[in-house]
Structure 1
Amino acid sequence: MHPTLRLMGGDDRVLGKNGKFLGSWGHFGNVKQRGIITYALSPNKQNPFAGAAHDAIFNTWRRFSKQVLYFAPPMVFFYYAMSWAVERNEYLNSKAGRAEFADSE
């Protein structure tokens, strides 16, 4: 006899000689689990910052090197464009600039 999907939906119905279906997550049945081995380490024996400085340096460099070509060229371009615009504005508002472009307005 094969259990139907409705029977395997987490009900507590008995499925013949195999016992109960485990059910969905959070609603497990009473079937004993076999062959599951768990290991634990005491919080007193753990070192939570093991290799943190080393990983921080190399992970930061790896992430920076992957992204630098996305933001560095536009920043360089706009820096030079802004410096040119500031210099041009200062020249146009100077005595020499006003004398040169007085006729164009």
Structure 2
Amino acid sequence: MRPSQALQGGGDVPLGKYGQYIGPWGATGGQKQRGIITYGLSPNRQNPFAGATHDAIFNTFRRFRSQVLYIAPPLIAGYFIMDWAIERNHYLNSKAGRAEFADEEE
């Protein structure tokens, strides 16, 4: 986030890409940066898995519900088409299928 113009400080130093010029690489001289605030939290105060199980269950359900109509119909159609094709192949390679379509092979 860019600091506002009032917080950038004064001076005739040219401003860089992010609004602050701190000098060439490795130099610590130049304008003082103002208006940049950072926050920290002690590692022993954090609970990274707080509510993870609850959120995982409900977030997974929400995402599944929003995508099921895009995924399920093609999968169901593909299953029935493959089932039909396998049964048709078994029939055509059976004795009855060969007898029925024997004259069409030549």
Q: Does TM, scored on the shorter chain, surpass 0.5? A: yes
Q: Which TM-score tier does this pair reach, normalised by the shorter chain?
A: 0.5 to 0.7
- Scaled by the length of structure 1, the TM-score of the pair is 0.67
- The residue aligned with 1:84 is 84
Structure 2: tracts of 5 or more residues without a match = 23-30
- Judging changes above 3 Å, is the alpha-carbon distance between structure 1 residues 98 and 38 closer, same or farther for their aligned structure 2 residues? closer
Which of these residues, 5, 10, 16, is aligned with residue 19 of structure 1? Answer: 10
Give ranges in structure 1 of 5+ residues lacking alignment: 1-7, 9-17
Q: Counting helix residues as a fraction of each chain, which structure ranks higher? A: 2
Aligned length: 87
Structure 1 residue runs of 4 or more that deviate by more than 6 Å after TM superposition? none
Provide Cα deviations, 1:29-67, integer angstroms capped at 9, x if missing partner.
32654xx87654311111111001111111111111111
SS at match of 1:103: helix
- With CA pairs under 8 Å and 6+ residues apart, which has the higher RCO, 1 or 2? 2
RMSD: 2.7
